[in-house]
Amino acid sequence: MKCVQVALPGRSYDVRIEPGLLSTVGELVKQVAPHERAVLVADANVADLHAPVVAESMRSAGYEVLSANIEPGEQWKNLDTVRDLYQLLLDARLDRRSPLIALGGGVVGDTAGFVAATYLRGVPFIQCPTTLLAMVDASVGGKVGVNTPHGKNLIGAFYQPSLVAIDTDTLQTLPPRELRCGLAECVKHGIVRDADLFDWIEAHLDAILALDSATLVELVQRNVRIKSDVVAADERESGLRAHLNFGHTFGHAIEATQAYDSQHGYRHGEAVALGMVAATRLATTTGRCDATVLDRLVALSARIGLPTAAENLAPIDRLMDAMQMDKKLESGQLRLVLPCRIGEASIVTGPAPDDVARSWESLLPGR
């Protein structure tokens, strides 16, 4: 079993990575949150595939398990879903020692995590991510929260899990589109923090897409280590951690203008992929990085199957307005993470609006 520790003062936790881990997750939960009762909140897409395995493992470890499902999609990551989960927990009279387990992708992890952070002022929280995107990003670092019509993740908290248990075998049942979305976050880590990782993904992409087990374990471990190092250095995003928002300010604007309807529009990883292209074009046209960075990013994204141009973007004035709702604004000024070279990025505050608009325009086909 691979193990990466997220080292925080007084509340470090382990990220365990192993094929087949869900079948033994109950004993791991018992080590960090012993109790008689537990809550399993699953993404409805994986409830039939993986929830029975987790529930049986929890029961074998001595837990009574209360189960609930969350509908998939960013449009369900909202306060209505949170309210429904509160009602379930209150009706069952769950106490503050009962662990809450999130099984699924980033939507269930963020939503259930926000419930765990706020129910009785905090209960033990266990992340069992089943998508690549959640494994390498959302499940590690303690960001939890929900969307509103005003923007993405505007209501939330920093609430670290007690354990992250990653069963890489769940990627074998992941739709190819979701795997590609997760790879967008891996590419992001390479651009902003680790040139060797970017090179490794380029070299091992065929094995990744073929779902080679050992390659997937290494992919997840390398990315989790990057994320854990950043979180340990800057838990609450006062500096270094903000670099992980590369592509996200553009990407969140795309998601907001499509009303988080990932069934008919771009999914989170796809929106981030487009955002990375737009941000890198901005960095290139303003002289902050060499054009080869953009060339390699576009080439790798295309090989993965991620979008590098967008046919159905909202009008640019709407996208610009959506960016102004970004929670990372500083004194009303936009803050963008722009690459300097592969493996290094910087934060630019108050970029010229015309330059940002041209970056949006560059995503249109044929530009």
| Structure token pair of residue 67 | 């189960």
Residue 205: burial class (beta carbons within 10 Å; 0-12, 13-18, 19+) = middle
Q: What is the reported pLDDT for 127?
A: 98
Choice among 35, 243, 248, 296 that is catalytic: 248
What is the domain-level CATH number for residue 338? 1.20.1090.10
Structural domain includes residue 259: yes
241 is catalytic: yes
Task: Please give the angle made by the CA atoms of 15, 18 and 20, to the nearest 5 degrees.
Answer: 125
Q: Is 328 annotated as catalytic?
A: no
Does 149 share its domain with 275? no
Whether 71 sits among the annotated catalytic residues: the reply is no
Using the 3D structure, point to which of 173, 191, 213 is the last residue of a domain.
173
Residue 149: the pLDDT is 87
Q: Residue 152: its pLDDT value, please? A: 83
Instruction: Count up the domains in the chain and report the number.
Output: 2
- Residue 255, classed as helix, strand or coil, is helix
Per the structure block, which two tokens stand in for 99?
């662990």
Beta bridge partners of 66: 39
State yes or no: is 16 an active-site residue.
no
Per-residue confidence in pLDDT tens, the chain, 367 aa = 899 999 998 889 999 999 999 999 999 999 999 999 999 999 999 999 999 999 999 999 999 999 999 998 888 999 999 999 999 999 999 999 999 999 999 999 999 999 999 999 999 999 999 999 999 999 999 999 999 988 888 999 999 999 999 999 999 999 999 999 999 999 999 999 999 999 999 999 999 999 999 999 999 999 999 999 999 998 988 788 999 999 999 999 999 899 877 777 899 999 999 999 999 999 999 999 999 999 999 999 999 999 999 988 999 999 999 998 876 666 678 999 999 999 999 999 999 999 999 999 999 986 6
Considering only CA atoms, give the Rg of the chain. Answer: 20
Q: Of the listed 152, 189, 252, 267, which one is catalytic?
A: 252
DSSP element (H, E) containing 298: helix 291-304
State the Cα–Cα distance between residues 302 and 61, nearest whole angstrom: 45
Among the candidates 173, 208, 223, a domain finishes at: 173
Residue 197 lies inside a defined structural domain of this protein: yes
Same domain flag for 75 and 204:
no
Q: What local confidence, expressed as pLDDT, does residue 331 receive?
A: 67
Residues 133 and 8 in one domain: yes
- 92 is a domain residue: yes
Residues 241 and 333 in one domain: yes
Q: For position 8, which CATH number holds? A: 3.40.50.1970
Q: Are residues 13 and 117 located together in one domain of the fold?
A: yes
Determine the pLDDT at residue 367: 64
Are 42 and 76 members of one domain? yes
Cβ atoms within 10 Å of 112's Cβ, excluding its own: 29
Look at residue 231 and give its three-state secondary structure.
helix
Same domain, 78 and 168: yes
How open is the CA angle 213-108-120, to the nearest 5 degrees? 130
Which of 241, 243, 267, 281 is flagged as catalytic? 241
The whole-angstrom distance between residue 18's C-alpha and the CA centroid of its chain comes to 19
In-domain check, residue 366: no
Considering the candidates 193, 227, 243, 267, report the single residue annotated as catalytic: 227
Same domain, 255 and 287: yes
- For the question of residue 153 being annotated catalytic, the response is no
Catalytic site residue from 189, 223, 245, 255 = 245
Phi, psi of 236 (to 5 degrees): -105, 25
Same domain, residue pair 328 and 183: yes
Tokens at 24, concatenated = 């033994």
Determine the pLDDT at residue 303. 98
Contacts of 28 (CB under 8 A, 6+ apart): 16, 21, 163, 165
Domain span holding position 201:
176-361
| Annotation marks residue 50 as catalytic | no
Q: Domain end: 138, 173, 208, which one?
A: 173
**Structure-token pair, residue 26:** 């109950």
Statement to judge: residues 37 and 124 lie in one domain = yes
**Are residues 21 and 44 located together in one domain of the fold?**
yes
Q: What is the pLDDT of residue 230?
A: 94
Cβ(86)–Cβ(58) below 8 Å = no
d(CA 47, CA 117) in angstroms, rounded, equals 23
Alpha carbons 31 and 13: distance in angstroms, whole number: 11
For residues 42 and 68, is the Cβ–Cβ distance under 8 A? yes
Is 165 a domain residue? yes
Give 210's DSSP letter: T
For residue 140, the model assigns a pLDDT of 95
Q: Is residue 367 part of a domain?
A: no
Cα–Cα dist 56/23, whole Å? 8
Residues 168 and 186 in one domain: no
Residue 2 is among the residues annotated as catalytic for this protein = no
- Has residue 256 been placed in a domain? yes
The candidate with the shortest Cα–Cα distance to 254, out of 238, 240, 268, 235, is 268
Say which residue the tokens 């039939």 belong to. Answer: 48
Q: How far apart are CA 355 and CA 78, in angstroms?
A: 33
- Which of these is catalytic: 121, 264, 311, 312? 121
- Per the residue annotation, which of 143, 152, 222, 267 is the catalytic one? 143
